[in-house]
Structure 1
Amino acid sequence: MATTTAAQRREQARADYDAFLRECPTNQLLGRLSDKWVSLVVAALATGPRRYSDISRRIAGVSPKMLTQTLRALERDGIVSRTVTPSVPVRVDYALTPLGASLAGLLTAVKDWAETHFDDVRAAREVYDTENPA
């Protein structure tokens, strides 16, 4: 049995998509998907296509720059589609692609979990902070 070098093992892991390795592209993708704006944009689009202004109103606190960057990144990754309708003014709609729709259930479930369990998390934080004063 031939031995392999660390570099060869890393290359094989990259080929096998091991998200625990920093060099693996799936690690980078998980970094993108774990962004709160990505989760909220995907959840907002899970109910159907929306215009930029609708998404902006739906997601409190997102800056125009961050929303634009997030939508562009999701479009690049094939999760969101952007449709421009020539009119005055120009209409731009964003929608989940089939790939994005397959992700929406997961991210919406995480959002729903956070909304459902935040009181439990807050209570745990209070206990922790009481037992571990700063």
Structure 2
Amino acid sequence: MSDQVYVGNAGVDAAGDRGWLLGHFKPPGDPRHSEDVEIKWGVHPAGDERAEWVKGEARTALLVLISGRFRVELPGRGVLLSEPGDYVVWGRGVDHSWRAEEASTVLTVRWPSVPGYRVG
């Protein structure tokens, strides 16, 4: 049973894989391997932002603010997450970008986990 259980720390584990804790990119047999969902623990210093907009997103996403102030830019709309627990959801095909207005920690859930699809 122990090979079906993984215990870790999001801050420590995320540092080793650009923040991603769970998804298709984890090795098969690892309990964190999933073709259904991806989960990221994102730690961003103040002023950190995407270099360019994500276009043609193939997944649905949920982004939850853990701490800080984090802005998500969507077509025609900016969303400011300022209280722990604030969140935004966007669907497939919705272009987006983001910026950490303060040092921020966010939890992102995307589905499905799409092999070969990677946006920096």
Q: TM-score range by the shorter chain?
A: under 0.3
How does the TM-score come out when normalised to structure 1?
0.25
User: Structure 1 or 2: larger helix share?
Assistant: 1
Structure number with greater Rg is: 1
* Bigger RCO (CA 8 Å, 6+ sep): 2
